[in-house]
Amino acid sequence: MGGFLLDTPDCPLFPIDSEQLLHLVRDGYLVYPELDVEDISDKSKSDRFTSFLAIIQAIWFSINCFGRVASHLFITTLELTTLSFIIIFLITSYCWYHKPKDVSRAIILTTTTPIKDIRARYHPHPDQEWYQTPLDFLSRNEWFASRLWRYYVQILHYLHIPIFRRPACRPYDRFPSDNFLYVDKLAEILATPIIVAYSCTFMFAWKSEFPTPTEQLLWRIAAVYLVCFGTAGMCVCWHAHYFIVPKLSAQNKDEYLLSEHDAELQPRDRAPPLARKGRLHRLAWRLRNIHPDRDPDLDVPLKVLIPNILICSSYSVFRAIILVEDFIGLRQLPESAFETVSWSTYIPHW
């Protein structure tokens, strides 16, 4: 939701992130908030003991799976799928260890400087329209995957199937719960082996026994697609984020400056630049951004959007095949699937 809310004389309360807070404190608009680790931890409602039990249970399940492999016992596809989720669960638990959970009350920071003066201090065009908060330009850098995610979520909103509640006010009174932060190169490097491990988990059932040859073939096709989706998808996202999206952002900036220039030099009754474009251009302009406010930072190039829709739709189909087979495959299992690991074979005992 945002741990800090900024209170200014001429604007309702709105959340600020760490980079915005740094600018405001460094330039004297705010006093550095006196907080320690205990103050932040006290706001968290997470139960460390419950989390610890969940982690121990996940680790024990993984050990049992490895033990079954060592004992040449059958592993069901449902166990294999669970093991893939455990990989993500353990990494997420480590990364979120210090993350406060379910914080419902933010810390309010007050400044006597009007927000218009703060924008004039930092923004080259302070009168330019903002879409989330008046200071989001200081730190906002929409990650490529975030743009796509928000596009798909907006489609669900139009279909009246909202999976996340969107802030309905401007400025935002909280950060959206599905706000994906920018991922730098170090994070991408660290995430690569995790994504590869998750994607390749399903390949371990390549020679496994299935009730029918058709189910085995479908599983193999789905497993190969998931591997390709995880590995090739990283390369596509990297190229789109570092090359295609920056080019589009620069184009949007140039169009804004041109429209400002046209407004000053051209007659008032002249058609705006978009109206002078062809039908296909106007259609593409509408399709690449379906946000209600047409936030330019949420533009998605069609050369990326259309292939992504096809690729992700196929992923959903093959993912469904995996999940369905996890359960229908339980109807016919070999005898070794019902045997347990004899740990006394591996653990010294008296």
Query: What does the angle CA 260 – CA 262 – CA 267 come to, to the nearest 5 degrees?
Result: 130
pLDDT value at residue 209: 92
Strand 4-8 and strand 107-110: the pairing is: parallel
pLDDT in tens, 105-147: 788 899 999 999 999 999 888 888 898 899 999 988 888 888 8
22: which 2 tokens?
A: 């740094």
Task: Please say if the pLDDT value at position 259 is more than 60.
Answer: no
Q: Is residue 187 part of a domain?
A: yes
Q: Is residue 346 part of a domain?
A: no
Q: Is residue 252 part of a domain?
A: yes
Structural domain count, the chain: 1
pTM: 0.79
Amino acid at 133: T
For 133, left (φ over 0), alpha (ψ -120 to 50), or beta?
beta
Alpha carbon distance 338, 73 (integer Å):
9
Alpha carbon distance 208, 201 (integer Å):
13
What is the total residue count of the chain? 350
pLDDT level of residue 235 (50, 70, 90 thresholds): confident
Task: Please say if the pLDDT value at position 83 is more than 80.
Answer: yes
Cβ–Cβ < 8 Å for 322, 46: no
Range of the domain at 209: 141-339
Q: Is residue 325 part of a domain?
A: yes
Mapping DSSP to helix (H, G, I), strand (E, B) and coil, where does residue 207 land?
coil
For 102, left (φ over 0), alpha (ψ -120 to 50), or beta?
left
| Closest of 115, 180, 174 to residue 147, by C-alpha | 180
pLDDT in tens, 40-60: 766 666 677 888 999 999 999
pLDDT value at residue 168: 65
- The answer for residues whose C-beta is within 8 angstroms of residue 258's C-beta and 6 or more apart is 273
Beta-bridged to residue 7, according to DSSP, are 110
Cis amide linkage into residue 162, ω under 30° from 0: no
Alpha carbon distance 327, 325 (integer Å):
5
Cβ–Cβ < 8 Å for 100, 44: yes
pLDDT value at residue 350: 59
Beta-bridged to residue 15, according to DSSP, are 5
Count the helices and strands in the chain (H runs, E runs): 11, 3
Cβ–Cβ < 8 Å for 182, 246: no
- Pairwise pLDDT comparison (251 vs 26), residue with the higher score: 26
Q: What is the mean predicted confidence (pLDDT) over 20-27?
A: 92
Mean of the per-residue pLDDT values for the chain? 83
Q: Is residue 89 part of a domain?
A: no
Amino acid at 206: W
Q: Is residue 59 part of a domain?
A: no
Greatest extent of the chain over all pairs of C-alpha atoms, in Å: 96
Q: Is residue 85 part of a domain?
A: no
Report phi then psi at 109, rounded to 5: -110, 130
51: which 2 tokens?
A: 């989390």
Least confident residue range of 35-49, 103-117, 185-199, 325-339 = 35-49
CA dihedral 269, 274, 276, 281 (to 10 degrees): -170
